[in-house]
Amino acid sequence: ADSDFVDVPVEGLIDPAYLARRSALIDPARALESAEPGTPPGAPAARADGDEPAEHGTSHFSVVDGEGNAVSYTSTIEGAFGSGLFFAGFYLNNELTDFSLVPEKDGVAVANRVEGGKRPRSSMAPTIVFDESGEIVLVIGAAGGPTIPVQVARSIIGVVDFGMTADEALGLPLIMAFGETVIIEDDSVLTGMTQELEALGHEQIRTFSPSLKANALRRTPGGWESARDPRIEPKLAYE
């Protein structure tokens, strides 16, 4: 939830000892029966889980100008056409629905409950990647609600770790865990993994046709390469 209202233990989340404990829970040969939340150093008392709203009104753009200034910008009005109210040339958002509208569960406060002046929790992940010398190598972001972090992370891994072009990385099929369910992009090479995942102990597996809306700019020796997810976005323009 909003870090102005809820303490977020950033240092604890990247603490090497904590990361080692969490990674030790992963067995490459067997699925976890249940992935419980961790307790990083400095974490406040646990809050109750909130509900997960759907999202349909997010846009993202990645821009680099001729002087090398870069912007990765994600904007959302939450639902399609937001609140449906139009003013001064734009639609007003209905981001209130990104809060948990149930303020507490079993007497425990929900971190993402509605409060005055508070920002709702969001999956938005506008990202700029730098190399060791401080040069920008990738500007990236996406729309797509809870799929955004996976879209961005898998594309960064493709470019940085596997040397893919931005087009290749953004075109990778999507697989992600959504709670206890593993979701796999329909009509992709990943659908052939279903039996293997079941053999590992994953009991809830389903395919879906995701609305993937990532775009990126990657630095190359010859200039900037523009890319968008080939499944939905129109071709990016640049000069």
- pLDDT at residue 64, rounded to an integer: 94
- pLDDT at residue 54, rounded to an integer: 54
- pLDDT at residue 48, rounded to an integer: 58
Condensed to tens digits (0 to 9), the pLDDT of residues 132-153 reads 999 999 999 998 888 899 999 9
Could you tell me the two tokens for 141?
């972001």
| pTM of the entire predicted model | 0.81
- pLDDT at residue 55, rounded to an integer: 53
Could you tell me the two tokens for 11?
């240092």
CA 176 to mean position of chain CA atoms: 11
**Residue 220 to residue 222: CA distance in whole angstroms:** 5
- pLDDT at residue 112, rounded to an integer: 87
- pLDDT at residue 106, rounded to an integer: 82
Condensed to tens digits (0 to 9), the pLDDT of residues 92-143 reads 877 787 888 888 888 888 888 889 999 888 889 999 999 999 999 999 999 8
Nearest to 201, CA basis, from 72, 4, 47, 35 = 35
- pLDDT at residue 46, rounded to an integer: 64
- pLDDT at residue 6, rounded to an integer: 85
Which residues in the chain land under pLDDT 70? 45-57, 233-239
Helix (H, G, I), strand (E, B) or coil at 148: helix
Q: Which residues are identified as catalytic? A: 58
- Is residue 6 packed enough to be buried (19+ CB in 10 Å), middle (13-18) or exposed (0-12)? middle
Classify residue 2 as left (phi > 0), alpha (psi -120 to 50) or beta: beta
